[in-house]
Amino acid sequence: MKITVAGVNKEVKDGLTIGELIQQENVETPEYVTVSVNEEFVDGQDRNEKSLKDGDVVEFLYFMGGGSHGFNR
């Protein structure tokens, strides 16, 4: 089946789960990545159960913390 991952069209096996895709894509620090499928966030607990479907659009989102240490106005 065909899906889009981070803007790139890919051919993957039918029934691929989000967890399997994360491993296949070698996602760095998977415990900190947020996944959206068709612009809907997927709960981290559901990654190994939720299967992707033909035409799905998947994005991996990393939320970075930061601050203004050393920032002068």
Residue 69 within a domain: no
Q: Tens digits of per-residue pLDDT, 32-57?
A: 899 999 999 999 889 999 999 999 99
Put simply, whether the predicted model's pTM sits higher than 0.85 gets the answer no
Q: Residue 72: inside a domain, yes or no?
A: no
Domains identified in the chain, total number: 1
Confidence of residue 29 (pLDDT cuts 50, 70, 90): confident
- Residue ranges making up the domain that contains 34: 2-62
Edge-to-edge, what's the strand order for the sheet holding 40-42?
Answer: 8-11, 2-5, 57-62, 33-37, 40-42
CATH number at residue 36: 3.10.20.30
pLDDT of amino acid 71: 58
Residue at 73 is within a domain = no
Q: Is 40 part of any domain?
A: yes
Q: pLDDT at position 14, please?
A: 97
User: Is residue 70 one of the residues assigned to a domain?
Assistant: no
- With respect to residue 21, please indicate whether it lies within any of the assigned structural domains: yes
Contacts of 71 by beta carbon, 8 Å cutoff, 6+ apart: none
Q: Is the pLDDT of residue 73 over 60?
A: no
